[in-house]
Amino acid sequence: MAAEILRYFAAIYHVEDRVRGHAPEARLAVRRAESGPLLAELKAYLLANKRRFSVKGKMHKAISYVLNHWDGLTRFIDDGRIELDTNVVERCIKPQALTRKNALFSGSPEGAQNWAIIASLLETCRLNAVDPLAWTTATLTKLAQGHSSKDLEVLMPWNFAKPSA
Q: What is the pLDDT of residues 83-115, one digit of tens each?
A: 888 777 677 666 655 455 665 666 787 887 888
Q: Is residue 83 part of a domain?
A: no
Choose the final residue of a domain: 33, 57, 77.
77
Q: Is residue 165 part of a domain?
A: no
Choose the final residue of a domain: 25, 47, 77.
77
Distance, in Å, from the CA atom of 34 to the CA atom of 84, rounded to the nearest integer, reads: 14
pLDDT at 150 over 70: yes
Show the domain range for 146: 88-159
pLDDT at 14 over 90: yes
8 contacts 43 by C-beta, under 8 angstroms: no
Average of per-residue pLDDT values in the chain: 87
Distance, in Å, from the CA atom of 150 to the CA atom of 54, rounded to the nearest integer, reads: 57
153 contacts 159 by C-beta, under 8 angstroms: yes
Report the b/e string of 42-68 with b at 16+ CB within 10 A: bbeebeeebeebeeeeeebeebeeeee
Are 45 and 11 found together in one domain?
A: yes
pTM: 0.58
Percent of the chain with pLDDT over 70: 87
Q: Is residue 118 part of a domain?
A: yes
Q: What is the pLDDT of residue 165?
A: 45
Choose the final residue of a domain: 13, 44, 77.
77
Total structural domains in the chain? 2
Are 53 and 9 found together in one domain?
A: yes
